[in-house]
Amino acid sequence: MTERTPLLHYRLSASVNESELRSPPAGPVPERQPGGPRQRRTPAQRQRQKLSTFFGVVIPTLLSMFSVVVFLRIGFVVGQSGLYQAIAMFLVAYLIISMTVLSVCAISTNGALDAGGAYYMISRALGPEFGGSIGLMFFLANVCGSALYVLGLVEAIVGSFGMPEDVSVAATPFQVLPSGYWWSLLYGTAITLLCLLVCLVGAHIYAKATFIIFLVVMFVLGTIFVSFFAVRPQTITLPTSATRNPTMNATGPVAPTTANFTGFKLDTLLGNLQADYTVDYTTGTMMSFATVFAVMFNGCTGIMAGSNMSGDLKSPSSSIPRGTITAVIFTFIIYNLLSVLIACSCDRVLLQKDYSFLTDINIWHPFVTIGVYSSTLSAAMSNLIGASRILYALARDDLFGKALSPAKRTSQSGNPWVSVLISWFLVQLVLFSGKLNTIASIVTIFFLLVYAAVDLACLALEWASAPNFRPTFRYFTWHTCVLGIVGCAIMMFLINAIYASASIAFMLLLLLLIHYLSPTSSWGYISQALIFHQVRKYLLMLDVRKDHVKFWRPQILLMVSNPRSSVGLITFINDIKKSGLYVLGHVQLGDLNTLPSDPLQSQYDSWLSLVDHLNIKAFVNLTLADSVRHGVQHLLFISGLGGMRPNTLILGFYDDCLPKDRLVDPSLPFSQSTDPSEPSQELEQQPLFHFAYLRNGSVRQDSGELGDGKVLGAQEYVAIIADAMKMLKNVVLARYFNNFDRTQVLSPPSSSPWKGAVYVDVWPVNLLRPDSCSYVDTCSLFLLQLACILNMVRGWKKATLRLFLCVEEGRSVRGSEEKLGQLLKELRIKARIYPVPWDQQVALHWQRQGKWGKKQQSQPYDTIKEETKPRAVEEEESDDDYVNSFPSNTMHLSDDYLSAVNKLILDQARPPPAVRFLYLPRPPADTRRYTSYLHQLELLTRDLGPTLLIHGVTPVITTDL
């Protein structure tokens, strides 16, 4: 008997026998394009979805899972691992793929499943990033798989009908085809053209062809079962390649040249029960449990073939579960029956040295050859049409932009012929490599990665607990999904750890590329559902009763009137939140009873776009109220959830600084308007954000006061501060941040006299109460805490904290400085202490108090009142309304004192700081003094540059471990 070349050696079929996409729809799918309307199905498209469960799911899945494995690999598995381990391998392999089958069934029964199969499931469940990356890998795997099957078919044809290259070997009458690289390439091109013609005609022709192939394969399989009982025992000559053993010397044992088909014998069964791993004669590598299991496992995959026919099924939700499970059970039974029959009737040597022995023991030898040809051709054709449908789906979803635009074109019948041609061209390119054993493993790994992604999609949907995830197939849990993911991952690294790592890295690279380049989809993102689920769970666990001061962090509510004038403040506050809650609050005046709809709903997109534009980590909370004060109260009451509620209110200062628009797009031209207060026409036509434009003199910085309308008055502004303190909220007033530029502040020119140094000044004493110079009260410590937090931010770490110690004559400067230094050491705050004498300023204060005391003794009460009140208060209050008989010293600060303190602060600013932190005293108890209070703050902070007036009401710092 002449030497016979194996029809397909195991390494080739081991890695590429999955025909993953059997026939996705031939026409476009009515999927909603991103930003586009939903297309209607044409009558032709509705008519094409006509396949039943048997023709649309069972047949493609059976052919995909059988392929050439059932003819060429069963003997190899039993011969190497023995019957016991072979059955164990099948059990483990089918356990792994069954977990994925359950996930596929669950997703396919959760609503309308459109065309695209695994790509559609993954992309619609996990989002465009995962869907696009996995989809592209699936496309490449199908392209390479189609080429591998074509090359395998060519190898089988040349092995049967090709003339032997060795002239010493006699050729049979059937070996008439010339052999060689270019001849094999020609045969492969012809087979690929045949597949191309079928795919160009349409999916309905392919469905008919697969049914014929299915009949052929089932008939051949039937003859194999009959042959075990009908064929008599015989001796079979082994292939020449299997009898050569280059490792043996002349004195060693001679390799057998024949082996026996014994029929059903107990001795034969007993000899095949245990494992006996040897060298594979086709590759020369030593086999082991892992290598044989990897080879066998690839013959059990192909489970996605039926689900990927979803576009052509009458009822995908019912057909996919029933058809896929039926095919899996049927193939499992067939594989195990064949394993038992082979172990009972074939010698171990025959199984190890002749992988095509089923041809020799068949009742008619060409039957098995026909089965191999048919299944291989079916696999090559299905991978080609599957690749074209995946490419069309990727192009239709616009995940890769204009690069795949030509692939969207379809014929009048809806067949994506451009995608078919592109896929065929790539398959043809792969054929030039001749043999693809080097990438065969990575193709299989791509398929396993897709299966793991399907399990991940089902797991994410299950864990998200979304109300709309209600699959009618309920025979799955999150445990089965996890087992499927773990099983696929183990198999990937078992087949080839290097290729598995490379494929995962490639997927992550594609994921990042799509994330940054693809447009926003309307499919929904499972990540949002998972985040919501986890955040809700942890918010419930965040118990405010268990809060501790050492884990305190700022949770900020920043009130913003118009973001156009508040960019500097918004970005600065983002630096002092220290991973805490940051909420941008806005109050719009109005009454919902008089409005047709809620005006705030249309504004959220602009605010969220602002957050993205400024690259800050903040939430947005808008409210509608009849006054700004009531609106701020609403936000302080309702912002946040559970233990994540604002504990600090930040307001822009109430002054007359002209606002500047910091959100103007510099690329837009400005028109030369005669009225500088009017915005340019170009800006009105092309706004960067949908916020009202600022008009000079009509909007007060951050305060919300509009023109002469006094939407927010001074009295109401101070009332907001008092309300926040009553609610035990820390209060911060920010002034002169309208021109604040974080980049410029943190990167001063090196040519400056101070060589680019950055300073933060801290004045932790109540400058409005010089009679109470305490550095350890709650407010002072809160001031130090915020300054320290700012110094911990990456950009501000190079800044130097300067702590100013105000001292009077007669007090020990050295002792006060040492005491404050010890406090800073205990608080782990690094700062430079600068003693500042302020006797002159304090003298002005006490001089005012002395005058007031003398007047109180010698003058009537009404006269004293009129002289001690600021002029603004005099205009507002009458003698009869004055009720505060004994005001505190704060109420009697002269403008001279405040101006002197302001000058003192300015004189210490060498070099000038980036920002100042000052002590904010409480508003007076008498609401009639609110205007005077605000006037004092204005004088104190005049021309100081970016300044924060801070008042803390709760302990926020500790020296304990």
On the question of a cis peptide bond just before residue 911, with omega within 30 degrees of 0, the verdict is yes
How far apart (Å, rounded) are the C-alpha atoms in residues 576 and 472?
A: 50
**Pairing status of strand 619-625 against strand 582-589:** parallel
Written as one string, the DSSP assignment of 575-626 is HSSTTS-EEEEEEEE--GGGSSS-TTGGGHHHHHHHHHHHT---EEEEEEES
**Are the beta carbons of 548 and 952 closer than 8 angstroms?**
no
652 SS3 class: strand
Place of tokens 């789906």: 393
Report angle CA 405, 411, 412 to the nearest 5 degrees: 130
Closest CA to 554 of 730, 724, 723: 730
Q: Could you tell me which residues are beta bridge partners of residue 832?
A: 802
How far apart (Å, rounded) are the C-alpha atoms in residues 258 and 264?
A: 19
Closest CA to 21 of 102, 154, 107, 120: 120
What pLDDT score was predicted for residue 29? 39
**Pairing status of strand 648-652 against strand 234-237:** unpaired
**Are the beta carbons of 655 and 949 closer than 8 angstroms?**
no
Cβ-based neighbour number of residue 175 at 10 Å: 17
**Are the beta carbons of 375 and 110 closer than 8 angstroms?**
no
Query: Using CA atoms in the order 332, 82, 8, 223, what is the torsion angle rounded to 10 degrees?
Result: -60
732 SS3 class: strand
Q: How far is CA 247 from CA 243, 251, 256, 279, in A?
A: 12, 12, 15, 11
Residues of the chain with confidence (pLDDT) below 50 = 1-47, 49, 246-252, 666-687, 697-710, 852-889
Write 590-593 long-range contacts (CB < 8 A, 24+).
590/624, 590/625, 590/626, 591/624, 591/626, 592/624
Closest CA to 105 of 62, 141, 57: 57
Residues 622-659 as b/e (b if ≥16 CB within 10 A, e otherwise) read bbbbebbbebbbbbbeebbeebbbbbbbbbbbbbebeb
Q: Which residues contact 218 (CB under 8 A, 6 or more apart)?
A: none
> Per residue in 521-538, pLDDT tens?
667 667 777 788 888 888
Alpha-carbon Rg of the chain, whole angstroms?
41
Sign of CA dihedral 346, 350, 356, 361: negative
Query: Using CA atoms in the order 788, 792, 798, 801, what is the torsion angle rounded to 10 degrees?
Result: 0
**Pairing status of strand 915-919 against strand 947-951:** parallel
Q: How far is CA 839 from CA 312, 759, 847, in A?
A: 91, 26, 12
Place of tokens 């782990």: 828
Closest CA to 718 of 936, 940, 570: 936
What pLDDT score was predicted for residue 25? 39
Q: How far is CA 233 from CA 184, 348, 361, 559, 799, in A?
A: 37, 15, 9, 92, 92
For residue 698, count CB atoms less than 10 angstroms from its CB and return exposed for 0-12, middle for 13-18, buried for 19 or more.
Answer: middle
Query: What letter represents residue 352's amino acid?
Result: Q
Place of tokens 């087992």: 483
Closest CA to 151 of 200, 198, 175, 186: 186
Report angle CA 269, 273, 276 to the nearest 5 degrees: 120
Query: What letter represents residue 115's amino acid?
Result: A
Cβ-based neighbour number of residue 513 at 10 Å: 16
Backbone angles phi, psi at 294, to 5 degrees: -65, -40
How far apart (Å, rounded) are the C-alpha atoms in residues 69 and 826?
A: 74
Query: What letter represents residue 869's amino acid?
Result: K
**Are the beta carbons of 590 and 630 closer than 8 angstroms?**
no
Q: Could you tell me which residues are beta bridge partners of residue 623?
A: 587
How far apart (Å, rounded) are the C-alpha atoms in residues 352 and 77?
A: 9
How far apart (Å, rounded) are the C-alpha atoms in residues 653 and 738?
A: 10
769 token code pair: 């109460």
What pLDDT score was predicted for residue 616? 92
Query: Dmax of the chain from CA atoms?
Result: 139
Distance in Å from the first CA to the final CA of the chain:
87
Backbone angles phi, psi at 736, to 5 degrees: 65, 35
Cβ-based neighbour number of residue 290 at 10 Å: 10
**Are the beta carbons of 342 and 227 closer than 8 angstroms?**
no
Cβ-based neighbour number of residue 815 at 10 Å: 10
Place of tokens 């195990």: 336
Q: Which residues contact 204 (CB under 8 A, 6 or more apart)?
A: 26, 48
673 token code pair: 């308007």
What pLDDT score was predicted for residue 14? 35
Q: Could you tell me which residues are beta bridge partners of residue 804?
A: 834
Query: What letter represents residue 72's amino acid?
Result: L
Cβ-based neighbour number of residue 21 at 10 Å: 31
349 token code pair: 């040597």
Q: Could you tell me which residues are beta bridge partners of residue 585?
A: 559, 621
How far apart (Å, rounded) are the C-alpha atoms in residues 185 and 164?
A: 17
Closest CA to 312 of 30, 64, 118, 50: 50
481 token code pair: 């999904």
Closest CA to 533 of 465, 459, 460: 465
Tally the residues of the chain: 961
How far apart (Å, rounded) are the C-alpha atoms in residues 750 and 756?
A: 5
**Are the beta carbons of 820 and 792 closer than 8 angstroms?**
no
**Which domains does the chain possess?**
53-517 (1.20.1740.10), 549-660+710-738 (3.40.50.620), 741-746+755-849+889-960 (3.40.50.620)
**Are the beta carbons of 720 and 632 closer than 8 angstroms?**
yes
Report angle CA 226, 340, 281 to the nearest 5 degrees: 95
